[in-house]
Amino acid sequence: MQIGPYKLSSPFVLAPMAGVTDKPFRALCRRFGAGMTTSEMTTADTSLWQTAKSRRRLDLDLDAEPVAVQIAGSEPEQLAIAAQAVVDRGAQIVDINMGCPAKKVCKKLAGSALLKDERLVRDILTAVVAAVDVPVTLKIRTGWDLEHRNGATIARIAEDAGVQALAVHGRTRACRYRGDAEFETIARIKETIDIPVIANGDIETVEKSLEVLHLTNADGLMIGRGAQGQPWIFRELINGLNAEPKKPPVAKKELRDIMLGHLNELHRFYGEQAGVRVARKHLTWYCDKLAGADDYRYQAVRVESASEQIRLTQEFFGGPKQNNKRRSTQGTEEQKAALQAH
């Protein structure tokens, strides 16, 4: 899949998710083969960028091409200024969020609320494309509600404005995350435009991903919740796309190294106090895929120190690790042979 001058290494990309896809998690997913990762959604109001949260969200992956940043807002001029600002910081792709269904976003007429106003959508996209000389991409839903599925119309507006790729979550704003994703609607949108279309929604297994690619004829898939607690899903997706024999689950030693490396990066990136708090949700997601992890999870999400989270993780996997520095997530052949179910 190609977005402007950038040919992605795989058609599987990580969905930007506020509070989840921070710099450590993006790096982890890229090591497993994500073709592109995008920053957490950032407000287009640059006057708010001085907070600690915004500074971390704008700590970009300058060593990972293409560097993609997602912005959200409802005022064309403000979004254009924000796009210029993130490009100045190193962004190589600017993504505009018109898909977030959160009430606090939509009540400001941003995110998926914009789908109600097609003229404003056109004005925003035209202004941002004109403001920067890097590719502009767009994330949408299939429409505002089940009676107003205007995703195909928005897609044509986007293509006409110069947007170079479109990600579509297969639900309306009103559906939020309820019900099944509308892959047939994504297929119709794909037929409507010539720019790359990336399908999103309910893609949590290799089998489902291949089915969605077939049903939608999409150029790529955007993985969101399916990557939580299993960032190795990108490696599995690539293997499935290449029709390689199904490989065994992640080995015990490799999983230990993934989790310990992730914890260390979170503690380093946020500092100990905040890092321990942020790590709790990631540990919970890992444990959802682990058998016999209830006691470990109960303790690991309650401790207050980084050393205790590390110690509990080491003990859960059968003893201390020789080295807590970040390791390659690819694992050795010996590790791959030692099987453990997710």
Provide the annotated active-site residues. 100
Cis previous bond, 66, omega within 30: yes
Check if the beta carbon of residue 142 is closer than 8 Å to that of residue 171.
Answer: yes
Q: Closest Cα to residue 342, out of 223, 248, 224?
A: 248
- Calculate the dihedral angle through the C-alpha atoms of 117, 123, 124, 127, rounding to the nearest 10 degrees: 180
Provide the residue type at 313 as one letter: T
Count other C-beta atoms under 10 Å from residue 141's C-beta: 30
Give me the residue label for tokens 């490696």: 235
3-state SS of 145-166 is CCCCCCHHHHHHHHHHHCCCEE
Distance CA(31)–CA(39), nearest Å, equals: 16
Q: How far is CA 263 from the centre of its chain?
A: 19
Strand partners, 199: 168, 221
H or E element: which one contains 14? strand 12-14
Distance CA(65)–CA(149), nearest Å, equals: 34
DSSP string, 96-147: EEE----HHHHTTT-GGGGGG-HHHHHHHHHHHHHH-SS-EEEEEES-SSTT
Strand partners, 68: 38, 93
Distance CA(33)–CA(8), nearest Å, equals: 10
